[in-house]
Amino acid sequence: MTPADTATPTAARSRYRDGLVVPSTGHAPGFTQANLVVLPRDWAYDMLLFGQRNPRPVPLLDVTDAGSYRTVLAPDADLRTDLPKYRVWRDGELVDEPADVTGLWRDDLVSFLIGCSFSFETALLEAGVPVRNLEQGRNVSMYRTSVDCRPAGRLAGPLVVSMRPIPAALVPAAVQVTGRMPQVHGAPVHVGDPASLGIDALDRPDFGDPVEFAPGDVPVFWACGVTPQAALMGSRPPFAITHAPGHMFVTDVPDQEYRQL
C-alpha cells in the first residue's frame, strides 16, 4: 500500500470497498473520521434523544433517513461497504466482524455518524501539544466513570472518557484547542484527578491501551465516543451494526469545518 492509496477520502473509501481491512488512523489526513452506529428505526428515537441529552460524548454529525446508506458527510459513499471493518451485534452480543454489510442491510435501518477524537488529536499536534498515544503507537486509554449519562428511553449508562497525558504547561492550550471543537467532543470534562471520576488505576484502562506518562504530564479526560456503544450494548437491541474499533468512516468533511473560529 502506498500512501497515495489512502491519501484522500475517496481513495481511502475505495480501497476499503475493494477489501482493504486496516485501521483508518492516518488515512486521508485533514478529513474528519466518524464513529458509526446503525440501529432499527424502533431504536433510533432513543439513540437520537441520548445524543441530544449527552452532546459531549455523543456529538451527532449526521443521522440518515431509515433505509438509506447515504450521508451528507460524503455524498458518494456507501455506508454498507465503505468502512474498513464492521461489527454486527444481535441482542447486545458481538456476532461477526465483516468487511461489508450489504447482505445485512434492511430498509428500517438508521445510521448515526458520531464525531471522533481523531479530529482533535490533529488539532492538538498542530498547536504543539504532544499526543502520547500517537507517539507510543498505542490506542488511547479509555475508562468507565462514576458519572452517569442522562438516560433516554431504553438507553442508560456511564460516561466513558478517553485520557491523554498532557505536559502541565500545555494543559491550557489543550483545553482551548479542543474547546473550539464541540462537535468532536469539545473541551475536556476533567483535568488532573482520576479519583473524582471514579477511576482507580490509570494504567488499567477499561478499553484501549495503557499509555506512558512523561515527567510533568497531567492526566486530561475527554468525553469519549465509546459512551453510546456502551449504553447501547448494555440495553441489548435485537440488531445493530457499528464500525470496528479504529476502523472508522472517512468523511469528505475537512477537520477545519468542526473548528470554531
Of 28 and 58, CB closest to a second copy: 58
Residue 186: CB minimum distance to a second copy, A: 10
Is the Cβ–Cβ distance between 10 and 76 less than 8 Å?
Answer: yes
Which of 146, 165, 249 has its CA nearest to residue 206? 146
Q: What is the C-alpha end-to-end distance of the chain, expressed in Å?
A: 36
Round to whole Å and give the CA distance between 225 and 215: 28
Residue 223: CB minimum distance to a second copy, A: 16
Q: Does 51 bind a second copy (CB under 8 A)?
A: yes
Q: Does 150 bind a second copy (CB under 8 A)?
A: yes
Q: Does 104 bind a second copy (CB under 8 A)?
A: no
DSSP state of 169: G
Q: Does 52 bind a second copy (CB under 8 A)?
A: yes
Of 48 and 160, CB closest to a second copy: 48
Residue 179: CB minimum distance to a second copy, A: 7
Q: What residues have CB less than 8 Å from 168, skipping those under 6 apart? A: 216, 217, 218
Region from 49-57, 76-84, 188-196, 236-244 binding a second copy, contact rule CB under 8 A: 49-57
Of the candidates 12, 28, 48, 161, which one interacts with a second copy according to CB under 8 A? 48
Q: Does 53 bind a second copy (CB under 8 A)?
A: yes
Of 2 and 260, CB closest to a second copy: 260
Q: Is the dihedral of CA 96, 97, 101, 107 positive or negative?
A: positive
Question: What are 51's three cell numbers?
Answer: 445524543
Residue 21: CB minimum distance to a second copy, A: 31
For the segment 54-93, give every residue that binds a second copy (CB under 8 A): 60, 62-63, 65, 72
Of 152 and 211, CB closest to a second copy: 152
Is the Cβ–Cβ distance between 210 and 204 less than 8 Å?
Answer: yes
Round to whole Å and give the CA distance between 67 and 261: 36
Helix axes 171-179, 118-126, angle to 10 degrees: 130
DSSP state of 213: P
Region from 15-23, 46-54, 91-99, 193-201 binding a second copy, contact rule CB under 8 A: 46-54
Question: What are 151's three cell numbers?
Answer: 438516560
Q: Which residues bind a second copy (CB under 8 A)?
A: 44-45, 48-49, 51-53, 60, 62-63, 65, 72, 150, 153, 179, 182, 260-261
